[in-house]
Structure formats: structure tokens, C-alpha cells
Structure 1
Amino acid sequence: MLRALLGRKSNPLIIDTPEKLAQALGTGYETTSGQRVTTNSALQQLVVFNCVRVLAESIGMLPCRLMKQTDKVRLPATSHRLYPLLTMAPNGYMTAQEFWEMLVACLCLRGNFYAYKVEALGNVVELLPLNPDIVQPKLNDDWSVEYKVNFKAGPQTLTQKEIWHVRLFTLDGLNGLNPIAYARQTLGLGQAMDAHAGKLFTNGAVTSGVLRTEQQLTDEAFGRLKTEFQGEHMGVANAYKPMILEMGLDWKPISLNAQDAQFIESKRMTEAQLCGLFRVPPHLVANMDKMTLNNVEQMGMNFVNYSLVPIITRIEHRIQVGLLNEKDRLTHYAKFNAGALMRGDLNGRYNSYGKGIQWGILSPNDCRELEDENPREGGDIYLTPMNMTTKPEATDDADKTAP
């Protein structure tokens, strides 16, 4: 009505890209660089895609088992209904690896992961992941948690008993912080650099030199020259083509300005900041600058300890609290086997096995089980080093009685 009174015509927005959809829904994040950052636009930056993929696939390949502890004995709880969900398939269309990869990707890009719990006889028998965009958690005055889910059939309010919620570190105890939202300025700068690089290489000839002449060109000659020059000499595909100049035209190459000269260095700094956001070592995203054999090995261990273990521990605790009933959570717990990360290091595995057997920590059959090998006869014996004892007098008595 106001547009009609003011004489303005409406210009409907044609939504044909994820960015336009985010703009219409208001789900993007404005930045000082003028770029609108969304989850999809952030993933289009190669370093972000690589970081998320490294974290998701690294955790997705780790075996997760449900364990049961009785006194000091810990054994796999293979008879529990939750065991096949964690090890094989949490639902009818996803494998366990795909499920864990999706969970980690949601944490990296949204800060929260939600799944609908299908229960039977008090046990969770299926986990159905939900799009974090359609779930809105709320903490009530009585400290109970409810989730408003916008299903296609209509919104529903579900309880904590029906939703499994895994979150990153939080300030209110309920909502995980969204890394993309808090890093939107750096991500926007990266998007602006990518756009600048695209224009720089598309207009390669324009940014690298000028055409100069002492004569005055007619409008027809200027238009013909512009059309021919843009079609024959602009862009990377037309680089190094010979130029045919007329009417005294002269090509004068110019160097890039200071901002373009520092472009690569600025982009490297932005990529390093994004690696720091996800705590992924640069060499895992194909950035080998300043990498040596020594620091690559150390950074690999840091990646496990400070990047994967915090996420793994977060998931393990949420499994124990959110997927087990009050009785089972006292004796059952979930455990990711981080030792699977050493599958490619045969020498390192065998060295650790040798030390474990030598000091009585592992038996040969324990090591064979870790290598997916069948047990051998007599392989369940745990060795005790002869130079280690808790009763020194026993050795003295043995010496006295020796012939």
C-alpha cells in the first residue's frame, strides 16, 4: 500500500541461490568487508571446506563402542540395544561413519547437532538427525529444556527426552556457539579476497598495462579497439597472445599496486586464522609452508590431543547422558578408539605393542585383537619383568636357597 501511494513498484527477489535464500530469511551475517557470510558461502572457501572435512572424516573413521564396567572389568556391551547404533548404523539410511561425520560438520558450521530419538521399551533404537536451522532450544523457568522443531507438517514442541542435543562450548549452558557467526569478519575478508582474485585474473590485461597514443581516436575506432582488445587479450586464457596495434598505439606494462602485491601474504594470514578457528594444523589442509619432519609429527600429535579429543569427549559424554537411561548410565559409557589413527604407522604400532607386552600391560592376544587377528594358543599370558618386584626379601631368600 505504501509503495502504491509513493509511486514505487515492487521488485520481487528471485531466489535462485543459497545466498539469496539466506538474504530473504535473514540468516546470513553482514561483515565490514561488504560480504554476506552464510554457511554455504563459508564452505566455498577451500580452507574452511578442508578443515571441516579433516575433522569430520578423522572422527568418522574412529570406532565407537558402548562399554560396560563391572567393578574393574570393562567389556563391550554387545547385548545392549544402543551398541549397534553406535558401531554400525544409527538409522535405516546412514552408516555410523556418515552419522559421526555429519555430527562433527554440524558442530563446526552451526555449533549444535540435533537428532530425534526413536525409543522402544525405554531404549533408543534409532537416531534421526535434524537440520539445526529448524530447531530452537529453550530453557524454561523450571530448568526443563524444550525444543521447538519446525517440521514440514508444522511446528512441534519436543522435550529433552525426545531430542539428542550435542553442542560446542556454550555461554548459557544450552546453545553452542556458532563458529561461522563469530568468525564472520575473517570469513568475509576471505570471500572478498577470492572475489578480488577472480576479478584480477579475469581482467588480467587491464591490470597489467595501458594502451597509449598521441592521436585522438574516433568513437568508432575506440569502440572497435575496446571490443577487439577485450575479446582477444583479456583473461588468463588469452595471456601471452601477440598484439597487433595500429594508429601509433603503444602498450605500456605497469606493475601491480601495493595492495595487490600484498594480496598473497594477506590471504595466507586469513587462511592461518581460519585454521586456528577449527584448530587444524596447516599441513592437513595442504599448506606446507615452514613445515619440517619434526614439527609435522608434533603438530600431528597436537591435532589429536587438542582438536579431536575435545570433540570426541564431548560426544562420549552426551551419549552417556542423552542416550542411556538413568540406570544404564551408571555402568555403561561410550568410547571412541583414537588408536585407529595409527593404522598407517605400522612401525609405531608394533613398537608400542612390544613395550606393552614387555611391561605386562598387554598380552600377545590383546595386540592381535587390535590388529583384527585371531588369538593364538598361549597368547593370553601377561609377562612380568624379572627386575621388578614388590617384595625385595623374596629375592634375597631365593638367593640364599640357590645351590
Structure 2
Amino acid sequence: MRIWPFKSERKALTDEEILDMLGGSVGTSSGIAVSADTALRVPAVAAAVRTISEAAACLDVKVVEIDGRTETEVPDHPAAALLKHDANDWTSGFELIRQLVVDALTRDQGGLAWANWINGEPAEIIRYRPGIIAAEYDKDGTGEPSYRINGRPTPSQQIIHLKSTFEKSPLTLCREAIGVALVMEKHAGRLFGRGARPGGVIETAKSVGDDGVVKMLKGWKAAHDGADNAGRTAVLWDGAQWKQMTLTSVDAQFQQLRLFQLQEIARAFNMPASMLGDLSRATWSNSAEMQRQFLMLCLEPWLKALESAFRRALFSKEDRKRFAVRFDRDDFTNVDLTARATAINSLVASRVLNPNEGRAWLDMPPYEGGNEFANPNTGASQPGGVPKPGETPSGTDAATIDELRAEIERLKNGSE
């Protein structure tokens, strides 16, 4: 499928665009230049970006038609096929959503993609590499964006733009914390590369000269540097003595400092630290609450932003009043079958749902009589249960009722 049927007009790139294309490398107080690529080398950052983006992409997405308070799925809508199956010939809907969220988490421009409309319908969605789609904002204060693809003006109605809070990505806002984490990674690498031991000094009773110092250090490194040489017995000569340096408070608290940086990065992405592997404060009782906070406070805003971004680009102005994109949040409860079954049973018992609606939550087919709202936990409310005066039990024919009444009369006459 042809993506761009006309020649592009290039313009001079802004400093921010050039920086973004070069990886967005910015120096920090720690002396480490942090870019999107280098930041993802920090396990906590990579875990945060993967957790948010893949959790959003794993949810079932659908197009619904809105009628008052009722929303009905429209599976044959062109936009539904692009989001659920293939966004284009080489990108699946899962990959598109995941990459849009990754871009919004790591780049200030946000996640950008172009919706190609053919014959009045969205035919494909193209996510270009960073720097190809440029967003410019109205300088009069309205904040209205205008877009260019390779310098060519493009209608904003065809652009999917997923923006982060504060118009800055979480990665940009926590560059300093990421820089400190990178410094600690390097320090740990050097520490374990030198035998996982602190440094020390070799004291000699007499002067050995410059050549003697060089030879001594060369022999010492050859014998003791590196993890493979850790624990080997040191041999000194000419009355030399080894004096080990004591650990400083920073060295002693190195592990706690690394854990604190993980928590700082988790705060920047607005997610519980337990989602990044910090289980020091996690228990059986609060783990479920932390997961709920992740869904409500971290992932839900991104899902809302995705729904709005897709709605602007995949529906015409008239269709936006009728159609919308929805992510199915119920998928999060699939992993806990016990909690899901308890919730369905409670809703059916309170007559909020009927049994067939509860079965639909489990992707099971309906059964006959399952559309009746009844409490299965009380006999009088069950279908076919004890009828009220003047009512006919469901599933009972008239002949059977006459026989029951005759038997009751016979018993009454016999007792008299």
C-alpha cells in the first residue's frame, strides 16, 4: 500500500528535533549524559516503560457505538480492524499501541502516528521514526498544534498524538535520578571487576623508586585484579605491608542507595515500586492494593489519553458523536479467577447482572433461561422455585397444576 503519494518539502529542524534525533542526550549533575537509549539501559527504567506500554497494548481494544448510556461494540468498523489486528502491512495493532506509549514515556514530542484515509475511511496507521513527524504549537497561547511529515503540512485530524503530562516525558523529568542510577551501575561494575573489595595501599619501609613502584603495581594487578583472582594470597617483599582502606558510610549504604534510586524512578513514572521488582515493602495483603493503584493511578490516564487520541484521528467530526474507542479493563481481573467468580456471583445474586451477562464476562455462551434476574442463593427467587400466590411456576404446564390442586383437595378432605 502506498503511504505517501507526494514529494516531501523539508525545512530546517529545530534544536529540540535535532537533539531528539540524536537520542536526546542531555548532561546531568552526575556527569552522565542521559538519552532515551542510555536511560533504557537502567533496568528500573526499562521495566517501567515495558510494564506500562505492554500492559496497555495487551488489553482488548474495540470500537463502540454510543446511544445515551449504552455502548454497543461495532466489530466491523474499519478503525476496529486497524487497532485489533493490523495497523498496516508490517505493524500489528499491539505493536502500534505499545510503541506509541513507549514514545510518550521517553520523548517530549510524545507518541506520533499518521492515519491514512482512503475513500472516507481510515485504511492504515503509520508510526514513523522519531523526527519525521513534527508538532508545532500556536504561539498566540491557544496551544493548537500543527503537524508536518517530512516538512509537508498535514491535517491534525489525521495525526494520532499521545502526549504526556506537563508536556514533558517521565524520562525527561527524572533524568537526574537516572543519571545517578547509571553512576551507581558503573561503580558496581568497577567494584566487582576489581575483585569486589575496597581499595588499599602498600606501605614500604624504604624507597623503591619510580621503576620499582611501576613493577610492583603491575605485578599486584596481574595477581589480584579481576573476579577470577579474588581471594588469592598476596605475597609482599622487602618489608612491604598491605593496609586495607576502611569502608565509608556511602560504601556501606550502597545497596540502600541503589534501592532508593529504583524508588525514585518508580515515582517519576507514577507506579508502585513493587511493579519494578522492589518487594521489600510488599506483603500478601498490600500487593493487590499496589496493583490496583497501578491500574487506577498509572495506567488508566494513559488508556484515557489513547482513547481520545484514536478518536480524533480515526473518526470524522460527525462520527465522533456516535463512535468511540474503548479498552476493556476487565482483562486485568482474568488472572484472578477466584476474585472474578466472587464478583460475578455477588452481582448476579444482587440482580445487577443476569447469569448470561455474567457468563459473557467469562467468554462463555448463554443458556436458555439465563436472562432472568434472580438470586440463585434463595429458593423462592430461583427460576422454577416456589411460586407466589396467583403465580404459575415456570416450566409447569396446566395439567400438572390441576393434578396438584386435586391432590391438595383430596388430602384436605381426608384430614377432615
- What TM-score does the superposition give when structure 1 sets the normalisation length? 0.82
Within 2, Cα distance between the matches of 1:340 and 1:223?
65
| 2:136 aligned partner | 138
Deviations 1:103-143 (A, max 9, x none): 11111111411111111122212111123333321234796
Which of 115, 127, 130 is the equivalent residue of 2:125? 127
Within 1, Cα distance between the matches of 2:269 and 2:196?
38
| 1:348 aligned partner | 339
Unaligned 5+ residue runs, structure 1?
1-20, 171-175, 388-395, 399-403
Judge conservation of contact 2:115–2:313 (CA < 8 Å) in 1. no
Deviations 1:208-231 (A, max 9, x none): 332222133244443332122112
Identity across the alignment (%): 24
Within 2, Cα distance between the matches of 1:297 and 1:28?
37
Letter in 2 for 1:45: V
| 1:247 aligned partner | 238
Which of 79, 82, 96 is the equivalent residue of 1:85? 82
Which of 270, 280, 292 is the equivalent residue of 1:289? 280
Kindly tell me the number of residue pairs found equivalent between the two proteins. 366
Which of 297, 304, 321 is the equivalent residue of 1:306? 297
Shift of 1:190: 1.8
Larger deviation, residues 261-270 vs 46-55: 261-270
Q: Could you say if the C-alpha distance between residues 125 and 188 of structure 1 is closer, same or farther in structure 2, counting changes exceeding 3 Å?
A: same
Judge conservation of contact 1:212–1:249 (CA < 8 Å) in 2. yes
Deviations 1:377-397 (A, max 9, x none): 32232326989xxxxxxxx99
Bigger Rg, which one:
2
Q: Could you say if the C-alpha distance between residues 213 and 51 of structure 1 is closer, same or farther in structure 2, counting changes exceeding 3 Å?
A: same
1:160 paired to 2:151: no
| 1:276 aligned partner | 267
Letter in 1 for 2:265: L
Letter in 2 for 1:260: D
Within 2, Cα distance between the matches of 1:193 and 1:282?
18
Judge conservation of contact 2:87–2:125 (CA < 8 Å) in 1. yes
Letter in 2 for 1:345: D
Which of 315, 326, 340 is the equivalent residue of 1:324? 315
1:161 aligned counterpart, secondary structure: helix
Within 2, Cα distance between the matches of 1:158 and 1:23?
21
1:110 paired to 2:107: yes
| 1:188 aligned partner | 179
Within 2, Cα distance between the matches of 1:340 and 1:206?
49
Letter in 1 for 2:116: V
Within 2, Cα distance between the matches of 1:23 and 1:246?
57
| 1:148 aligned partner | 148
| 1:57 aligned partner | 54
Within 2, Cα distance between the matches of 1:205 and 1:221?
27
Letter in 1 for 2:133: V
2:136 aligned counterpart, secondary structure: strand
Judge conservation of contact 2:158–2:314 (CA < 8 Å) in 1. no
**CA RMSD in angstroms, aligned pairs only:** 3.0
Letter in 1 for 2:161: H
Unaligned 5+ residue runs, structure 2?
1-17, 380-387, 391-416
Within 2, Cα distance between the matches of 1:367 and 1:28?
51
Shift of 1:288: 0.8
Within 2, Cα distance between the matches of 1:292 and 1:305?
20
Within 2, Cα distance between the matches of 1:360 and 1:26?
56
Q: Could you say if the C-alpha distance between residues 141 and 159 of structure 1 is closer, same or farther in structure 2, counting changes exceeding 3 Å?
A: farther
